Structure 1
């Protein structure tokens, strides 16, 4: 039996978890059907067959979950940080114990390759451990002295929060948002993306089985126009953490304005990888290929624009095209697969439409550019490289969110910087050069929240994660996460008598 067949057999066993009845919402520690009985199907992008029927939440379900989160908040917020630390580590242990199940379900639900999803659950456990270790100090502040006064700052959890996560790497991104919220002492209402809801259900089950009190973490499945909107408008929800498209982020901001919601947005990107002639070209090529074709190109930090110094443009793009043409497109549970099927037929159409747009604009397809007849007949698209492109083309300006790379030449450092900044986004940037002075100048002027020099995206959990311009508001990671999920107080103590202005005396 092949490895793929072995994995398919295992996946069928894991998916049985979801095939009996409807995958319910989880509210107040109980399985709850949608208030109006509505459901929806989640499809596998491999063969477009249903994986499960899922409760479709509405405003009534969000209200139920928000009230459960509010009821659980006082006790959870008062729990000592050391106790929360132990509990979050237990959740991490339970994630590791079920890592294969999580990975296989995620592959079948999203189309992402096992090569990458096998690590997603372990990364999720790392997120829980990282924030667990910081829970005891989450409330710590500063002491600030002034003449005749001693100030102490402290932080307190903001209250019940709403978390809205995307469909591309849903398990890992759910842990990235929810772990710091729990460590801070917040309670949670989580609405996962409707295209890939299954591992969110596994995650809340794991947390409760590890001992998380009822109502601290509530899960409501549904669509943005009903469940999502109700969550962003609900008066009991004090903040919204959202990962997704920039246009949706703007909509959420409008919806939350009436209740003065605090928001953290991780939004779209059109991230440049800038390659100068003095770079290590083989390493730069490997990094550029990894950052656009891993995870099917469905990642906010993908390097979807390739800016290359003119003197090496032909050589370098030929190297990229050669590497892209050798990438295996196939079933996500095949250990050799790099690019699996695109998440959903709607998104596959978007990606293919952009490929057609690029050709109509005059760009040249140097690799890929077609739909692939992959196993199961699902949403497979070949890793694609456009050359002979310019920065005014739609394929250079708009987020495609698929395995499509647009290569643009530049003459010098000034033009490279101008091209890199000339988009509405500013999430990430990748710079390849051996000139330290250039690296310092360029990164100082590059409009991006995160920049890697001579590296692909290598995350260090204590560092800030987030973008500028249309790529987001706020930062995750390390103490920055606590800044979002907590309110800061200042308490001032008079240390000696001081003159008080007398009125009416």
Structure 2
């Protein structure tokens, strides 16, 4: 039996419970169907066949979940930080124990390759451990001295929060949002993306089996226009953490305005990787290829614009094209696969339309550029590289969110910066150069929330994560997450009998 056959057998065993029982909501510690009994199907992008029926939650289900989160908030917020720390570590341990199940289910539900999803559960567990260790100090503040007074700041959890996660790497991104919320003392209503709901169900089960009190974490499946809208408008939900498209973020902001919700958005990107002639071109090519073709190109931090100094443009793009053509497209559970099927036929159609747009705009297809016949006949698109492009083309300006890279030449540092900043987005940037003074100048002027120099995206959990312009509002990571999920209070103590103005006396 091949490794793929063995993995498929295991995956089917893990999926059997979903095929049999469906995917239920979790509200107040109970697995429940939608209040009106309706469901929707989640399909596998591998063969487009249904995996399971999913509870289709709507406003009534969100209301019930929000009330459960509100009822659980007082006791959860009052729990000592050390107790929350132990519990979150137990959740992390339980995630690790079920890492294979999580990875296989995620591969079948999203089309992401096992090469990357095998680590998704471990990254999710690390997110819980990171914030577990910070739970005891989450409420700590500062002491600030002023003339005749001493100020003491402290933090308190903001209340029940809504978390809306995307379909591309749903398990890891759910932990990235929910772990700090729980560590801060907030309760949660989670609405996962409708295209990939399975691992969200596993995650909340794992948490409650590890001892998380009922109602602290509630899960409601549904669509953005019903469950999502109800969550963003609900008066008991004090904040919304959202990862997804910029357009959707704008809608959420409008929907939450009436209840003055705090929002944190991690949105889209059209991120440049800028390669100067003095860079280590082989390493830069490996990094550029990794950042656009790993995770099927379905990642907000992908380096989807490749800006290369003109003197090495032809050499460098030829190197990238050669690497792209060697990437294995195949079944996500095949250990050798790098690019699996895209998430859904709707998204596949969008990506293929952009490839057609690029051709019509006059860009040259140096690699890929077409649908691939993969195992199961699902949503496979080959790793694609466009050369001969410019920054006015739609393929250079609009987020494609697939394995499509657009290469643009530049003549000097000034033009590279102009092209890099000529976008409505500002999530990440990647700079390759051997000139440290150039790196300092360029990163200072580059309009992006996160920049990696001579590196692909290597996350360090204590650092801030987030974008500028249309790429987001706020920062995740380290203490920045607590700034979002907690309110800061200042108490001023007089240290002497200072003069008080007398009015009317």
- Give TM-score, length-normalised by structure 2: 1.00
Aligned-partner SS, 1:126: helix
What is the correspondence of 1:280-291 to structure 2 with a 5 Å cutoff? 280-291=280-291
Structure 2 CA distance for aligned equivalents of residues 504 and 455 of structure 1: 67
Structure 1 CA distance for aligned equivalents of residues 23 and 112 of structure 2: 22
Shift of 1:21: 2.8
**Which residue is 1:495 aligned to?**
495
What is the correspondence of 1:60-459 to structure 2 with a 5 Å cutoff? 60-459=60-459
Post-superposition CA distance 1:481-504 (Å, at most 9, x none): 000000000001111111122223
Structure 1 CA distance for aligned equivalents of residues 296 and 483 of structure 2: 33
Structure 2 CA distance for aligned equivalents of residues 419 and 232 of structure 1: 36
What is the correspondence of 1:27-46 to structure 2 with a 5 Å cutoff? 27-46=27-46
**Which residue is 1:483 aligned to?**
483
Aligned-partner SS, 2:107: helix
Post-superposition CA distance 1:254-273 (Å, at most 9, x none): 00000000000000000000
Structure 2 CA distance for aligned equivalents of residues 410 and 475 of structure 1: 31
Shift of 1:22: 2.8
Aligned-partner SS, 1:470: helix
Shift of 1:23: 1.5
Aligned-partner SS, 1:52: strand
**Which residue is 1:50 aligned to?**
50
Structure 1 CA distance for aligned equivalents of residues 501 and 62 of structure 2: 51
Structure 1 CA distance for aligned equivalents of residues 29 and 352 of structure 2: 42
Shift of 1:33: 1.1
Post-superposition CA distance 1:148-179 (Å, at most 9, x none): 11110000000000000000000000000000
Aligned-partner SS, 2:296: helix
Q: For structure 1, which runs of at least 5 residues remain unmatched after alignment?
A: none
Shift of 1:31: 1.0
Post-superposition CA distance 1:101-123 (Å, at most 9, x none): 00000000000000000000000
Aligned-partner SS, 1:273: strand
Structure 1 CA distance for aligned equivalents of residues 441 and 48 of structure 2: 49
Structure 2 CA distance for aligned equivalents of residues 22 and 270 of structure 1: 37
**Which residue is 1:21 aligned to?**
21
Structure 1 CA distance for aligned equivalents of residues 46 and 458 of structure 2: 29
Structure 1 CA distance for aligned equivalents of residues 498 and 446 of structure 2: 50
Structure 2 CA distance for aligned equivalents of residues 118 and 35 of structure 1: 35
Structure 2 CA distance for aligned equivalents of residues 23 and 359 of structure 1: 41
Aligned-partner SS, 1:381: coil
Structure 1 CA distance for aligned equivalents of residues 112 and 474 of structure 2: 28
Shift of 1:197: 0.2
Structure 2 CA distance for aligned equivalents of residues 253 and 500 of structure 1: 43
**Which residue is 2:473 aligned to?**
473
- Computed over aligned residues only, the root mean square deviation of the Cα atoms, in angstroms, reads 0.5
Structure 2 CA distance for aligned equivalents of residues 94 and 249 of structure 1: 32
Post-superposition CA distance 1:372-413 (Å, at most 9, x none): 000000000000000000000000000000000000000000
Q: For structure 2, which runs of at least 5 residues remain unmatched after alignment?
A: none
Structure 2 CA distance for aligned equivalents of residues 377 and 150 of structure 1: 68
Aligned pair count reads 505
Structure 2 CA distance for aligned equivalents of residues 53 and 309 of structure 1: 51
Post-superposition CA distance 1:187-209 (Å, at most 9, x none): 00000000000000000000000
Structure 2 CA distance for aligned equivalents of residues 240 and 481 of structure 1: 12
Shift of 1:8: 0.1
Aligned-partner SS, 2:82: helix
Post-superposition CA distance 1:268-293 (Å, at most 9, x none): 00000000000000000000000000
Which deviates more, 11-20 or 330-339? 11-20
Structure 2 CA distance for aligned equivalents of residues 339 and 219 of structure 1: 30
Aligned-partner SS, 1:426: coil
Structure 2 CA distance for aligned equivalents of residues 32 and 77 of structure 1: 25
Shift of 1:140: 0.3
**Which residue is 2:460 aligned to?**
460
Aligned-partner SS, 1:242: strand
Structure 2 CA distance for aligned equivalents of residues 213 and 267 of structure 1: 31
